[in-house]
Structure 1
Amino acid sequence: MSAAALATLVAAGGALAPLSSPPVVSAAEVPPPQLPPLVSLDLPYVSDGDPAHRLDVFVPAGTSSRPLVVFVHGGSWTHGSKAEIRGGAGQRAQAFRDVLLGHGYAVASVEYRFSHVARFPAQLHDVKAAVRYLRARSADLQLDPTRFAVAGESAGGHLADLVGYTGLTADRTLEGDLGVTGESSAVSAVVSYYGVADLSRVVPDRVEKGCARGQTGATSPEGRLVGVDPQTARRADVVRRANPVTYVGVTSPPTMLLHGTRDCLVPAAQSTRLYRLLCSFGVPAEYITLDAPHGGPSFHTTPRVTARVLAFLDRHLRVER
């Protein structure tokens, strides 16, 4: 008897008769036990021995091929780790992973080279190589190669956007030739958390928001990524090549953007501008703002937000449970 029925009975002055035996529950009504995921750590997606070319994969237990979300960590393109998805970084990305696993998604977390090691487009080459590797090994890893999405935070959001919007590019200088070739790096959806969409606008966006200018010029995180002052007109072509907004078009994959309204590191104007551009091309796009600074656990622990992210992924990766 349900709690509501019991309450009604008591309120009416009724009495409960003792049960001679427990109610029969069919096997179909009993949820299956949650088995631990299959975990593969430190898989080399490029066979060059570079620890920056490693990834981790988490796959829900079972026999079906799973849709995959490739996660790209943040860190100003200068630090961070794929281990963030396992916890300990303060962003609660492990909660994001666990929600996805609990709803039938596999999750991969990718390392990539930092800007003090190699300038852009090395980071894009790395993440694209990881996607191609995962697609090539999809049968072994129980992944569905037709249902890949990419997600990232901050610098990782920037790279996730780029992977999404250059998936169909014929420009080999953007695709790169690392690791597995002959596979596509295209994805079906993008989830970008407080990412940089236009490197040349980061500092102006801070000023317009009333924030401190922060690091500027060629020694800023954006400057170190591309090797020039992002605001210089003299090398605008170099900066434009690293901007996700450069590649948005009618074939861009559906995108969900999430940003904090109190973000003074990468102001929300970055996502607002990208969202409007996506909409202008008719690309399915969603935009969620939170009362939050740059990052923080609320992006992955707020139920209404995680529900929206799951609904977005389900819709565009056609997940059946």
Structure 2
Amino acid sequence: MTFPFHLLAPPDPAALPLPHPARPADGVTLLRGAVYALPEGSRPLTADLWLPEDATGPLPVVVFVHGGGWRAGLRDDLGPRFRDWTPGPFARLARAGFAVVCPDYRLSGEAPHPAQQGDLAAVLAWLRARAGDLGLDPARTVLWGESAGGHLAALTALTQPPGTVAGCVTWYAPTDLPGLAEDRPAGTYDAHDPSSYEALLLGGPPADRPEAARDASPVTHAGPDAPPFLLLHGTDDSLVPARQSVRLAEALRAAGHHPDLRLVTGGDHLWVGLSDADAEDCYARTLTFARRCTGA
């Protein structure tokens, strides 16, 4: 008897059972840890889905991409300014009528660029495949990320087929990796350093891998089919200079778009230095933008 080797093939994530629902807040259902991709030689990739209870009609979608320098991070963590919110930021979005998807992606210690970009493309494909099961309208999907997650959200939004993404929000995101050497204060960044976050993402220092650095930069891909963008960045960001968001806004304008660039006075990375009211305003602007892009 010949062994049926096809039985060893990984299952189709679109056909796997969904996680048992939890109720983390009134009016909200949470499906934690749904498998959306099985990259060969890697761990299964999972996502949390925050859904409004008793929703009628297909839901608009917000896909949140966590930060952490492409090296670390938790898929459901918006950062220290929002960890004590009750209900939390994703439950609030669900209460506002959105399905919120928080995916894992392969970190730079697991795979270099473009693996992360491919993972986010995979989660978008998985959402399209499971739209009927989950009650989603994938044509009304907004990508949103903070820091490295904002970079990945922008990169994915600009490299997907036209119409895949309805809008993109970035918070204090790097957008032009070759430009970091110019944007950061003299002596604070070495493009030849093999241990920098950017080098670990690219599989080598940006100065030694210029084509990879360009390909991994959202500014490279800003073209006529780009979706609407909201770019939020603190003027006092000591890790990712605000000039990085300005660069993406300029590239989008050059391609014929009108991105909404908001430089938040006094804001450092992770919104350090902002009052609670100003940090909440960044969240409120994000929600308003998502509603505008999706008609929610």
- What band does the TM-score fall into relative to the shorter chain? 0.7 to 0.9
- 1:146 and 2:134 matched: no
5 Å-filtered alignment, 1:154-303, equals 154-168=147-161, 186-207=164-185, 212-213=188-189, 217-232=193-208, 235-290=209-264, 291-296=266-271, 302=278, 303=280
Partner of 1:313: 290
- 1:90 and 2:80 matched: yes
Structure with higher strand content: 2
Q: 1:80: Cα distance to partner?
A: 0.5
Q: 1:313: Cα distance to partner?
A: 1.6
Of residues 47, 52, 59 in structure 2, which corresponds to 1:55? 47
Q: 1:304: Cα distance to partner?
A: 3.4
Q: Give the Cα–Cα distance (whole angstroms) in 1 for the partners of residues 108 and 143 of structure 2.
A: 21
Q: Give the Cα–Cα distance (whole angstroms) in 2 for the partners of residues 300 and 63 of structure 1.
A: 34
**TM-score for the superposition, normalised by structure 2:** 0.81
Percentage of identical aligned residues: 34
Q: 1:283: Cα distance to partner?
A: 1.8
What whole-Å deviation, never above 9, does each CA across 1:102-141 have from its counterpart, x for those lacking one? 3211111010111111110011111110111112111111
Partner of 2:19: none
Q: Which moved more, 1:103-112 or 1:310-319?
A: 310-319
Q: 1:48: Cα distance to partner?
A: 5.5
5 Å-filtered alignment, 1:79-158, equals 79-85=72-78, 89-92=79-82, 95-158=88-151
- Greater Rg by CA: 1
Q: Give the conservation status (yes or no) of the 8 Å contact 2:144–2:150.
A: yes
Of residues 22, 25, 33 in structure 2, which corresponds to 1:42? 33
Runs of 4+ residues deviating >6 angstroms: none
Q: Give the Cα–Cα distance (whole angstroms) in 2 for the partners of residues 257 and 250 of structure 1.
A: 18
Count of residue pairs brought into register by the alignment: 264
Q: Give the conservation status (yes or no) of the 8 Å contact 1:299–1:305.
A: no
Aligned to 1:114, the other structure's residue is in SS state: coil
Of residues 51, 62, 77 in structure 1, which corresponds to 2:70? 77
Aligned to 1:310, the other structure's residue is in SS state: helix
Q: 1:40: Cα distance to partner?
A: 0.5
Q: Give the conservation status (yes or no) of the 8 Å contact 1:300–1:306.
A: no
Partner AA of 1:133 in structure 2 = W
Partner AA of 1:200 in structure 2 = P
Q: 1:51: Cα distance to partner?
A: 4.5
Q: State the Cα RMSD in Å.
A: 2.4
**TM-score for the superposition, normalised by structure 1:** 0.75
Aligned to 2:241, the other structure's residue is in SS state: coil
Q: 1:204: Cα distance to partner?
A: 2.3
* CA spacing shift, 1:36–1:301, aligned 2, 3 Å: farther
Partner AA of 2:267 in structure 1 = A
Q: Give the Cα–Cα distance (whole angstroms) in 1 for the partners of residues 284 and 65 of structure 2.
A: 20
The unaligned stretches of length 5 or more in structure 1 are: 1-33, 170-183
Q: Give the Cα–Cα distance (whole angstroms) in 2 for the partners of residues 118 and 196 of structure 1.
A: 19
Aligned to 2:64, the other structure's residue is in SS state: strand
The unaligned stretches of length 5 or more in structure 2 are: 1-24
Partner of 1:20: none
Q: Give the conservation status (yes or no) of the 8 Å contact 1:41–1:55.
A: yes
Q: Give the Cα–Cα distance (whole angstroms) in 2 for the partners of residues 137 and 60 of structure 1.
A: 17
Q: Give the conservation status (yes or no) of the 8 Å contact 1:74–1:154.
A: yes
Partner of 1:28: none
